């Protein structure tokens, strides 16, 4: 009888703990949602108020189309006309290609920097020098070197993104306990096993953090890179709207760029939390 009572009591306690966890999760979600929407409302309010006062002046009344309401109204029209889907496809392809190239180059480069001392000492100054060069300053050179603007833009994205990935990878590897490698070697681990069983699991968090930083840089670089030479993408669409004096379309595109960038960054944050050793 006492055993059954204990079991039932344990079930009541377990149910109570689960209920508390669920209520805390709901409360945290509600708090985050509230902060999100309030912050967004404040941003739109400041945007609308600023444009309202600017448009009060007859000489600048044309800036009324820069407001949030005309921008939001333009989104369905631009979607139906294919402007937004085409820009998402073109810019997404360039961003994915350039960022993918940066990841493929940056991770091995970072591993070499983190594992081989002489390589790190030899390349630190040249890499830091190249990292500090504005990616857009490579644009005239890229246009000359590559056959078309498509390849040139992908190169600009890659050259902008490779350094955050490489340095984050090297930084993460520097924090790995050297004893792990000694134990692995004593157990007969091959070099590729060192990479797949020790290095990559240990530095996944750092790599994803570097990719998040690289994505932010790449997203900033790709828009001005598309202003010239191409006939698709968000940069081209913004330039086309400016030349056509379609200011509501221009601000609508700016709004979409912000939303897409926010979503991409949020995905990176979720991946970082998933692979964080401290997520518990």
Within 13 Å, how many C-alpha atoms sit on residue 164's CB side?
Answer: 17
* Region of 245 on the Ramachandran plot (φ > 0 left; ψ -120 to 50 alpha; else beta): left
* 76 plus 37 within the same structural domain: no
b/e for 51-62, b at 16 or more Cβ within 10 A? beeebeeeeeee
Tell me, what's the pLDDT at 273?
A: 85
* 133 plus 162 within the same structural domain: yes
Both tokens of residue 97? 């290609």
* 100 plus 187 within the same structural domain: yes
Residue 246 lies in a domain: yes
Both tokens of residue 80? 């139906």
At 234-264, the pLDDT tens digits run 999 999 888 888 888 999 999 999 999 999 9
More confident residue, 46 or 185: 46
* Percentage of the chain lying above the pLDDT 90 cut: 34
- Out of 39-43, 73-77, 89-93, 185-189, least confident range: 185-189
* 189 plus 255 within the same structural domain: yes
* 226 plus 96 within the same structural domain: yes
| Angle formed by the axes of helices 83-115 and 117-131, nearest 10° | 150
Tell me, what's the pLDDT at 1?
A: 45
**Contact yes or no for 135/156 (Cβ under 8 A):** yes
* 24 plus 102 within the same structural domain: no
Tell me, what's the pLDDT at 11?
A: 52
What residue numbers bound the domain in which 117 lies?
67-274
pTM of the complete model beyond 0.85: no
CA 242-245-246 angle, 5° bins: 85
Provide the pLDDT confidence category of residue 92 given band limits of 50, 70 and 90. Answer: very high
CATH code, domain carrying 214: 1.10.3720.10
DSSP 64: G
* 47 plus 108 within the same structural domain: no
SS3 63: helix
């Amino acid at each position: 009888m006492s055993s059954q009572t204990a079991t039932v009591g344990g079930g009541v306690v377990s149910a109570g703990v689960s209920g508390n966890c669920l209520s805390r999760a709901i409360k945290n979600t509600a708090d985050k949602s509230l902060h999100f929407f309030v912050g967004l409302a404040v941003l739109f309010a400041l945007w609308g108020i600023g444009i309202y006062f600017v448009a009060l002046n007859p000489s600048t009344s044309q800036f009324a189309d820069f407001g949030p309401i005309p921008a939001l109204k333009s989104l369905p029209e631009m979607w139906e006309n294919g402007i937004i889907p085409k820009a998402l496809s073109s810019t997404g392809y360039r961003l994915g290609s350039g960022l993918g190239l940066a990841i493929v180059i940056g991770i091995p480069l970072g591993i070499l920097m983190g594992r081989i001392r002489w390589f790190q000492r030899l390349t630190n100054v040249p890499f830091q020098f190249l990292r500090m060069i504005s990616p857009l300053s490579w644009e005239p050179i890229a246009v000359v070197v590559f056959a078309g603007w498509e390849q040139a833009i992908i190169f600009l994205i890659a050259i902008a993104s490779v350094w955050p990935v490489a340095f984050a990878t090297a930084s993460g590897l520097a924090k790995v306990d050297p004893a792990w490698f000694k134990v692995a070697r004593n157990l007969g681990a091959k070099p590729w096993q060192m990479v797949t069983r020790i290095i990559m699991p240990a530095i996944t968090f750092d790599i994803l953090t570097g990719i998040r930083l690289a994505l932010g840089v790449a997203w900033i670089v790709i828009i001005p890179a598309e202003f010239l030479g191409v006939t698709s993408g968000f940069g081209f669409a913004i330039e086309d709207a400016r030349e056509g004096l379609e200011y509501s379309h221009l601000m609508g595109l700016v709004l979409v760029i912000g939303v897409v960038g926010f979503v991409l960054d949020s995905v990176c944050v979720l991946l970082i939390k998933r692979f964080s050793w401290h997520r518990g």
